Structures are given as C-alpha cells and as structure tokens.
Structure 1
Amino acid sequence: MPLPVEEPSSAREYPLDEIGRHIDQERRSVSLLGEIREIVFGAQDGLVSTLAVVAAVAGATSDNLAVLIAGLASAMAGVFSMAVGEYMGSKSQDEIFDWHIADERAEVEGRPLEAQAEVAYLFMEEGMVEDDAWEAAAIIGRHPESLLATMVAKELGLQYSSGEDTAGSPLRGALFMGASFAGGALFPLLPFLFTEGMPALVGATALTGLVLFVIGAVKARWTNRSWLVSGLEILSLAAFAGVAGYLFGSVLPALLGFSGIV
C-alpha cells in the first residue's frame, strides 16, 4: 500500500517517521495474515473432519449417543493433534531458519568478499546491470547486518531482521490452530443435540456447509478472489467429505457383512 502522500521528486523528500510507521503497519498486516491462515485452516479442518466422522457413524447406526461420542472424541483428538502439529512444525521451521541464518552470518563475518560477490550475482540475476550490481553489493557490504539480511532474503528466500522478535510464535500459532479447530468441530455436532437420524445428519451437513461457505467468502477478502467462488470451493470439499463419510459408514459395513451389528 503506497504512502498517502503526493509523489515527491526525490526519495529523500519522504519523511522517515512516516516511512517507519508505514513499514510497521505492513509488517503487522503480514503477521496478522499468518494468524488468519491458522484460524481458517483449523476451522476448516475441524468442520470437515468432524462432519466426515458423524456422517460415517450416522450412516452406520441410528444411536444418537454413539454419533455424539464419536464426534466429540474425533474433535478432541483433532484439537490436540492439530495444536501439537502446528507447534512442532513452526518450531522446527524456526530452528531450520535460525541454522541457515547462522550459517550465512558466519560467511558474512568470515568471508565478506565472497558474500558481496554472491549478492552482486543475485542482483544481476534479477536484471541489474553488472556495474550497478557490483556497486550496490559493495555499498551493502560496508554494513554487515544489511549484507546478511540481503543474502538471507535473496539467496534463501527467508525474512530476517535483527530487531524482530519472533519468540513465542509457535505457541501462539498452536493456540490459534487448536481453538479454531475446536470451534469448527462444534457445528456438525449441534443438530445431534436436538434431533437424530437423517434430520440430524441433514442439519449437520447444511450447518457445516453454511459455516464453510462463510469462511470461504470471508477468506476472499485477503486472497483477492471472488467471495462466491471461494465460498463454493470450500463448500464443495465439505460436500464430498460428507457424502464419502456417509457411504463408507452405510455401504462398506453392508459389503463386509457387518450391517446387522450396529
């Protein structure tokens, strides 16, 4: 998003305090998008996986208590599994990033001219003319932290800032993921609290589909896609999971000769 000022004749005319506030705002927006990703992913998975479980059990038995117990058990397992998986995945990613950044820092400190040559080469790969690339690399090379940040961004595709504190982000991501999964898992179970059998299953499918459509439509705000297409895309996936779960719960037991047991 450009700064809300008239374009000056020189970059030096931009007030640095406004530039700083603008950059901080952009960084907060990117951080928020990461949390939105965790919320959307967790809620979608909670809705779809729980609907699949209750559809499978409801297709195999008319016992409402069995459907609720299976749905709740699946939801609780999913909450802890998703939260722990998000925590371990994010923590492992951070550790890998830290190792690569430390390796690049050792190169900047021990072989600064090699680091400058790599930066110049990367600039030339992007289309910068050779003389400008060497000059820019030499200027950046006089500032080790800037050289390190440039190498990390352009060579490894990672983001690095010496003043950025990301401590606690894996735990925060895990909490968002687990909470959103739990919230999503509740909707397929609600109809079974008030009715049973096919009406409950139809209600669970309809309610889940509605919530998923809303999630998809809201998600389109950050993906620059049509809200209708985004909502229908998620809705179609939920419909597939529900139908597949019901068929496996009703048809498969009969094919295996277990239809009379439940």
Structure 2
Amino acid sequence: MKKPARESLEREHRPEEISRRLDKPPKVQTLPDAILGGIDGCVTTFAVVSGAFGAGFSATVALVLGFANLLADGFSMAISNYESIQAQREYIDDIRESERHHIDMVPEGERDEIRQIFQRKGFDGETLERVVEVISQDREVWVDTMLTEEHGLQKMGLSPMRSALTTFVAFLIVGAMPLLPYAVPFLDTTRQFLASLLIAALMFFLIGMMKSVVYHRPVFQSGLRTLLMGGTAAGLAFLTGHLASIWFGVSV
C-alpha cells in the first residue's frame, strides 16, 4: 500500500478537515456483500456446469440447472445474509438496552467499569477520574462506550436490506456469466464448457483484483487466490458429476 505524502497527511489533519470527517455519517460497507455474492454466484453456476459436463449431460440440461440454481441459491443467500445482519443488529440493540438498565440500577458499578477500562489504557489519578466523570455525564455516550469497550461491538448501523440486495444482485450478475456460452447454439458441448471455464476463471480473477484494489493488497496474489478457490470448487463438482454418472450408471 502506497503511503500518502507528509503534505497530504498534514492537510487531512487540519482541525477543520478533522471536524468535517467526524461530522460525516459512517459509510455502510457493501463491498464485502458484493464480493461474497459474486464469488458464490460464480462458484454455484460453474459448479453446476462442471458437474453436468462431468456427468455427460447436454447443454440444455446444464443451462436449465444453472439458471434454476442461480435464482434459488441467490435468493437463499440473500435471505441468509439479511437474517444474519438482522440478528446482529438485534443483538447490539439487546446489549444496548441491557447497559441502559445496568446504568439505571447500579450506576456506581458501571462507573467502576469505565474506570477500570480506561485505567487499563494507562489513565490514572485525576485524569482517570475526569474521564469517568465526563463519560458518565451523558447516558448515551456512556452506553456507547460500554458497547465498544466492554463488548467489542460497533455502534455503526447495519442495513440488512441493503446487504441482502447487494448480495443477490452480485450473485445474479456474476453467476450468470459462466452460463452465457450455453446459450450459444452453434457451439458443441466441449467448446461451451471450455468457454464457460475461461469466463468463470476471469470472473474469479477479477473479483480477487477488485478486492486487492479496495483493500490495498497485491493484485496478482489476490486474484490468483480467488481463482484457486473457485477452481477447486468447480473441480470437485466436475469430479462428483463424473463419478456419480459411473456409480449410478447414468448415460446420455
């Protein structure tokens, strides 16, 4: 990751710039949901394509199974993501209400918790007592401090619907890519599979590259790692389809 120049950092840390940044509402991160949906969508559909090719099924069967899995699994994943984030929000709200109740019932005990938390950070004496006094004067600041420092939870709001929609859209868009060659009628089954393989590999690599750009990681390494993970899943699907066709005597 390239480090900013000193002049740039000094401009960003002027009092007015710091105030402006702190006044902004926290950004809701949707990229992890998009990456999750994209990778899983591509793995899902290409695994179906690989399994169908390994079993010797026709292009029509692969296309039908692929789109059926694309919609069903995409919806299922979006719902799962929604429920997961909603449960996380409810857990945070429950902890917040619990801390409010504790402050109302045993305020001195909660003040001592604040005192010990900041004592472990190196505060002591009058400075420590002043910190405790300032925090405990505002009930919501007090609750937020306990939420972050005692329970390790972030107070930033999460959007279950946004995450679910992002996951679903990314799943559909990226997951549909490996199916495109099977919609081309003049290609034989082998060429359709090879074209699907190349497209899936490209999708995996591009997703890995996108992660590297956003999170400032080595581009090639991130792309290759994502490609290897997706390729492993597709290889397992191909092997399973081929072995199943032999074990169960399926012939097309």
Structure 1-normalised TM-score?
0.85
The residue that corresponds to 1:232 in the other structure is 224
Check the 8 A contact 1:46/1:184 in 2, yes or no: yes
Unaligned runs of 5+ in 1: 9-13
SS in structure 2 at match of 1:5: helix
The residue that corresponds to 1:41 in the other structure is 36
The residue that corresponds to 1:5 in the other structure is 11
Tell me by how many angstroms 1:250 deviates. Answer: 1.2
Task: List aligned pairs for 1:89-100, cutoff 5 A.
Answer: 89-100=84-95
Pick closer, same or farther for the CA change 1:106–1:3 going to 2, 3 Å.
Answer: farther
Instruction: Choose the corresponding residue for 1:203, options 159, 177, 195.
Output: 195
Unaligned runs of 5+ in 2: none
- For the residues of structure 1 that align with 2:225 and 2:55, how far apart are their CA atoms? 28
| Residue type of the alignment partner of 2:161 | L
Tell me by how many angstroms 1:130 deviates. Answer: 5.7
Query: What do the CA deviations read for 1:171-224 (whole angstroms, capped 9, x no partner)?
Result: 111111111111111111011112242211111111111111111111112322
Tell me by how many angstroms 1:131 deviates. Answer: 5.2
Kindly, what percent of the aligned residue pairs are identical?
27
The residue that corresponds to 1:177 in the other structure is 167
Greater alpha carbon shift after TM alignment, 233-242 vs 18-27: 18-27
Query: What do the CA deviations read for 1:217-245 (whole angstroms, capped 9, x no partner)?
Result: 11112322101111000000111112111
Instruction: Choose the corresponding residue for 1:144, options 121, 139, 142.
Output: 139
| Residue type of the alignment partner of 2:71 | M
Tell me by how many angstroms 1:25 deviates. Answer: 4.6
Tell me by how many angstroms 1:153 deviates. Answer: 0.7
Instruction: Choose the corresponding residue for 2:52, options 50, 54, 57.
Output: 57
1:87 equivalent in alignment to 2:93: no
- For the residues of structure 1 that align with 2:228 and 2:181, how far apart are their CA atoms? 21
- For the residues of structure 1 that align with 2:38 and 2:192, how far apart are their CA atoms? 21
Check the 8 A contact 1:116/1:147 in 2, yes or no: no
Once superposed, which parts of structure 1, at least 4 consecutive aligned residues long, lie more than 4 Å away? 1-4
1:248 equivalent in alignment to 2:243: no
By relative contact order (CA 8 Å, sep 6+), the higher-ranking structure is 2
Structure 2-normalised TM-score?
0.88
The residue that corresponds to 1:27 in the other structure is 26
Tell me by how many angstroms 1:109 deviates. Answer: 2.7
For the aligned residue pairs, the C-alpha RMSD in angstroms reads 2.2
Pick closer, same or farther for the CA change 1:26–1:132 going to 2, 3 Å.
Answer: same
Instruction: Choose the corresponding residue for 1:214, options 181, 203, 206.
Output: 206
| Residue type of the alignment partner of 2:68 | A
SS in structure 1 at match of 2:30: helix
The residue that corresponds to 1:189 in the other structure is 179
| Residue type of the alignment partner of 1:170 | P
Greater alpha carbon shift after TM alignment, 213-222 vs 133-142: 133-142
Pick closer, same or farther for the CA change 1:135–1:103 going to 2, 3 Å.
Answer: same
- The number of equivalent residue pairs is 244
SS in structure 2 at match of 1:184: helix
| Residue type of the alignment partner of 2:215 | T
- For the residues of structure 2 that align with 1:95 and 1:26, how far apart are their CA atoms? 21
Instruction: Choose the corresponding residue for 2:250, options 234, 259, 262.
Output: 259
The residue that corresponds to 1:11 in the other structure is none
- For the residues of structure 1 that align with 2:215 and 2:80, how far apart are their CA atoms? 25
Tell me by how many angstroms 1:3 deviates. Answer: 6.5
Check the 8 A contact 1:71/1:189 in 2, yes or no: yes
